[in-house]
Amino acid sequence: MLDIMLFIIGRKVTIKGIIMQLKRQENECISCFCLYLCSVIYNHLTWERLIV
């Protein structure tokens, strides 16, 4: 599960690359990826509030 997190954090990843990675890792990574996306969106919104 950590593999995809490190993969995404470590690079500027294209959507195609993410989809290919998900296909390799199967279902456990889809939930992991969703959690990652949620945290990124949440952090982004939090930072916007702090800056503004």
pLDDT digits (tens, 9 = 90+) for 4-50: 555 555 555 566 776 777 676 665 666 677 778 878 878 777 776 66
**pLDDT score recorded for residue 29:** 60
| Number of domains the chain contains | 1
Domain with 38 in it: 2-51
| Predicted TM-score (pTM) of this structure | 0.35
Do the Cβ atoms of 50 and 22 come closer than 8 Å? no
Do the Cβ atoms of 13 and 7 come closer than 8 Å? yes
**pLDDT score recorded for residue 46:** 76
- Other C-beta atoms closer than 10 Å to the C-beta of 7 total 16
